[in-house]
Every structure is written in structure tokens, then in C-alpha cells.
Amino acid sequence: MSLKASRLLDGDLRPEDVPATLDGMESHSDERDRFTIYRLIGDTLRGNSTPDDGYSKRIFDRIRRETSGK
């Protein structure tokens, strides 16, 4: 699923695969979070600012916890 999410963000996903990819993200919070992370990374690389409602901070806090084993 994460490859499809990445392709969706890059505009490389086949149009017929978009609905299933979005449905998958809707029903799997890990995939939805991964999509958000990919989007935030892409925005940062392109120099786009993104409004932060605290959601991205929670995601990055979660990544830190998972990678530190805590």
C-alpha cells in the first residue's frame, strides 16, 4: 500500500487504482499516517509550508517513539 500512496502523491498512480488506494488508507490508520508523512516530506523538499494543527507533531513523536523502542 505504501508504494501506491507514494505513487499517488507523485501523480504516477493509474487512475483506476486511486479509489482502492484511498479506501485502503481510510481503513488503515498506519497507511493514512504514512501517506501524511510522505506528503509532509514532499512539501518540505519542495519548500512548501504546511499549517500545523498538531497532527504532524503527533506523527513525528510517534515515529521517534517507534524508532527509539520506547
pTM metric for this prediction = 0.59
Half-sphere exposure of 27 (CA within 13 A, CB side): 6
Task: Name the CA radius of gyration of the chain, rounded.
Answer: 13
Question: What are 11's three cell numbers?
Answer: 501523480
Q: Is the pLDDT of residue 60 over 80?
A: no
Cβ-proximal residues to 4 (8 Å cutoff; 6+ apart), any chain: 13, 17, 21, 24
**DSSP secondary structure code for residue 13 in this structure:** S
Asked if 37 contacts 59 with a C-beta cutoff of 8 angstroms, the reply is yes
**Residue with the larger pLDDT of the pair 54 and 10:** 10
Per-residue pLDDT at 65 exceeds 80: yes
